[in-house]
């Protein structure tokens, strides 16, 4: 699998494979040594699984953006991977161009999802049988803290628009503020909600709204 990914990615423009590891236990050391922009992470690996390895990178403060590759895209795996800090989630049968595009997107700070994974994420956010936050988080994955009271109504409004998929520019237009103001609100939300990207923020917003749903 790794050999195939290297052949697929290393020959594309503007992407260079700087290293590989055989299992999750070697991820943290390799990332610290090689300082990659993007990590392609399998979920099912020996010794340490991909979700735990992703969470360890986040705890260590790594700047690398994690793209999860897996043969399985169950509700629990999608949610747990994103809460652990992954920015994208693709199944292994994704087209080669989709994997390459996901690497480029991750490097640019954008998220990518396979169609089935995206459908599961939407299902998690909208299902009626209880809050998504009630599910048990994986070992070593960060838990979702309660919504701090210090989140302002305007910040929460921005968060809700992020959860709807709006860009910073679209949020600025909707709220009649500048894009710089939107970025300021987002930075504050990331810090207050202990998240590192827009996907995690959207999950926190949708979790909170499910808790408030009568």
In order of their start, the domains of the chain are 2-126 (3.40.50.2300), 139-212 (1.10.10.10)
* Residue 70 tokens, joined: 């897996």
Alpha helix locations (H) across the chain?
2-10, 27-34, 50-59, 75-84, 96-107, 115-126, 153-163, 168-175, 179-193, 198-212
- In angstroms, what CA-CA distances link 182 with 1, 18, 171, 212? 41, 35, 7, 25
Per-residue pLDDT of 32-74, as tens digits, reads: 999 999 999 998 888 899 999 999 998 888 989 999 888 876 7
DSSP 113: B
User: What pTM was estimated for this model as a whole?
Assistant: 0.61
Q: Quick one: pLDDT at residue 105?
A: 84
H/E stretch holding 40: strand 38-42
Q: What percent of the chain has pLDDT over 70?
A: 79
d(CA 140, CA 51) in angstroms, rounded, equals 8
If you average pLDDT over every residue of the chain, what do you get?
Answer: 79
d(CA 50, CA 40) in angstroms, rounded, equals 10
Per-residue pLDDT of 4-29, as tens digits, reads: 888 888 778 788 899 999 888 999 99
d(CA 154, CA 174) in angstroms, rounded, equals 12
DSSP 15: -
- In angstroms, what CA-CA distances link 32 with 57, 71, 96, 150, 153? 9, 27, 27, 34, 39
Q: Quick one: pLDDT at residue 125?
A: 53
Q: What angle do CA 145, 185, 202 make, to 5 degrees?
A: 50
Q: Quick one: pLDDT at residue 212?
A: 59
Q: Does position 131 have pLDDT exceeding 80, yes or no?
A: no
Per-residue pLDDT of 167-204, as tens digits, reads: 788 889 999 999 999 999 999 998 888 887 777 787 77
Question: Quick count: other Cβ atoms within 10 Å of Cβ 199?
Answer: 22
| Cross-strand partners of 143 | none
Q: Quick one: pLDDT at residue 148?
A: 62
d(CA 48, CA 9) in angstroms, rounded, equals 24
Q: Quick one: pLDDT at residue 144?
A: 42
Q: Quick one: pLDDT at residue 182?
A: 93
Collapsed DSSP state (helix, strand, coil) of residue 20: coil
């Amino acid at each position: 699998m790794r050999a195939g990914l290297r052949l697929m990615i290393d020959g594309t423009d503007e992407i260079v494979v700087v290293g590989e590891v055989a299992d999750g236990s070697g991820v943290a050391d390799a990332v610290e040594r090689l300082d990659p922009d993007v990590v392609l992470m399998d979920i099912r690996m020996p010794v340490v699984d991909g979700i735990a390895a992703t969470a360890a990178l986040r705890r260590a403060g790594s700047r690398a953006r994690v793209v999860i590759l897996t043969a399985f895209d169950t509700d629990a795996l999608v949610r747990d991977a994103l809460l652990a800090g992954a920015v994208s989630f693709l199944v292994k049968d994704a087209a080669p161009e989709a994997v390459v595009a996901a690497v480029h997107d991750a490097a640019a700070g954008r998220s990518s999802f396979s169609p089935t994974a995206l459908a599961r994420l939407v299902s998690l956010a909208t299902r009626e049988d209880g809050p998504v936050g009630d599910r048990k988080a994986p070992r070593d994955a960060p838990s979702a803290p309660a919504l701090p009271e210090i989140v302002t109504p305007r910040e929460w409004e921005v968060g809700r628009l992020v959860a709807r998929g709006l860009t910073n520019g679209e949020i600025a237009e909707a709220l009649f503020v500048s894009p710089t103001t939107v970025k300021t609100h987002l930075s504050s939300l990331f810090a207050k909600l202990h998240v590192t990207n827009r996907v995690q923020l959207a999950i926190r917003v949708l979790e909170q709204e499910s808790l408030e749903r009568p």
